[in-house]
Amino acid sequence: MTAATRVVQALRTEDFDYDLPPEFIAQKPVEPRDSAKLMVLDRNTGTITHAIFRGLGRFLRPGDVLVVNRTRVLPARIWARKIPTGGRVELLLLKQETPTVWQAMVRGRGLVPGKRLQIQGGPEAEIVEVLEGPVRRVRFQRPVHQWLPQAGQVPLPPYIREKLEDPERYQTIFAREPGSVAAPTASLHFTPQLVKRLQGQGIRFAEVTLHIGLDTFAPVKEEDPRRHKMHREWCRLSPETADLLNRVREEGGRIVAVGTTAVRTLETAALHAPPGRVVAPFEGETDLFILPGHEFKAVDALITNFHLPRSTLLMLVSAFAGREFILRAYEEAKRHGYRFFSFGDAMLIL
């Protein structure tokens, strides 16, 4: 039995809990984006350094590559009326199955198979199947992309109570491919000016796609986190990106994942890599659940935010940096007034 195996066997979900008073949860993003605080963790020395995100280049080297998620948040919250009674229904689109069929979380009574809905600002729809809990399979009369930008609203995480004046502020500057119900928040700190400066230092950028589902906010309820059901999310790492990342590693550069979604995409692609390669091209669904004991094959450094207690995201960063180091850093973050969660500050783990 390896040491890594022993660590995994000893895991308990409660080991990833910590106290966070509500005032630490960021309700609005800072302006400009790159003025967020940056906490830098060095895994080799165990030291913590405090900086500002626009100074990220101090901690990177020429030849490094930053891997960002190009997913775009859908205006996935829509409203409807029941046909013929007119009762109000709220839907949150979760996962596309075909151009007209989606899995959606619904709020309203009597939403059984066969129930017809009139989408506000859109077409008619029908409940096709009851899935898990409040989730339904819904068939729309027309493909969603034709009307969703006009009829839908960008959903914000449940812990953000204040209204966001500019919905684009919950999109990253890399967002190109619609498909997520939440933003890859580590990328929210980048500005075009910062990207240009980093490129001027010889730091490259690579893009992957992972469409984020609502389960990213769900706490792990199982006592043993290995029993937690990780929902599948679609991701893609292109042949061009695979070639670049393999070349970077061969040349001695570091692969820096920007966010946990980039980590999951990279490590999924690494599972398919042939001998002598770091990653292989990949397109499909992943349910990779990264816990302490995971052997990282593609990720050398990680940019991330401060995550919810008992979450799969906190478990992932603990797998990368060590649970005790992460929880110590979180306590220091509170002492230094860092802001937590989606609109909060950032962490760089080297």
Would 133 be classed as within a structural domain? yes
Which pTM was predicted? 0.93
- At residue 7 the predicted structure's pLDDT band, cuts being 50, 70 and 90, is very low
pLDDT of amino acid 247: 98
At residue 13, does pLDDT exceed 60?
yes
Q: Report how far apart the first and last C-alpha atoms of the chain are (Å, whole number).
A: 28
Verify that 240 and 286 share a domain, yes or no.
Answer: yes
The answer to the question of residue 160 being in a domain is no
Same domain, 60 and 205: yes
| Count of structural domains within the chain | 2
**Residue 41 domain flag:** yes
139 vs 214, residue with greater confidence? 139
pLDDT at 232: 87
CA-wise closest residue to 322 among 287, 302, 285, 293? 293
Judgement on whether residues 37 and 129 belong to the same structural domain of the protein: no
Query: pLDDT category, 151, cuts 50, 70, 90?
Result: very high
Domain shared by 63 and 173, yes or no = yes
Segment 290-342, tens digit of pLDDT: 999 999 999 999 999 999 999 999 999 999 999 999 999 999 999 999 999 99
Residues 24 and 68 in one domain: yes
| Mean of pLDDT over the chain | 94
Q: For residue range 210-230, what is the model confidence (pLDDT) as tens digits? A: 999 877 667 788 999 998 888
Question: What is the extent of the structural domain holding 107?
Answer: 77-151
Same domain, residue pair 38 and 146:
no
Residues 238 and 331 occupy one common structural domain: yes
pLDDT of res. 9: 55
Give residue 217's pLDDT: 64
CATH code: domain of residue 99: 2.40.10.240
Please tell me the predicted confidence (pLDDT) of residue 8.
47
Close Cβ partners of 341 (under 8 Å, ≥ 6 residues apart): 25, 26, 157, 159, 160, 185, 305, 306, 307, 308
CB 23 within 8 A of CB 332: no
Rounded CA-CA distance 285/101 in Å is 18
* pLDDT, tens digit (0-9, with 9 covering 90-100), for 97-132: 999 999 999 999 999 999 999 999 999 999 999 998
* Listed residues 102, 124, 151: the one ending a domain: 151
Of 151, 182, 204, which one is at a domain's C-terminal end? 151
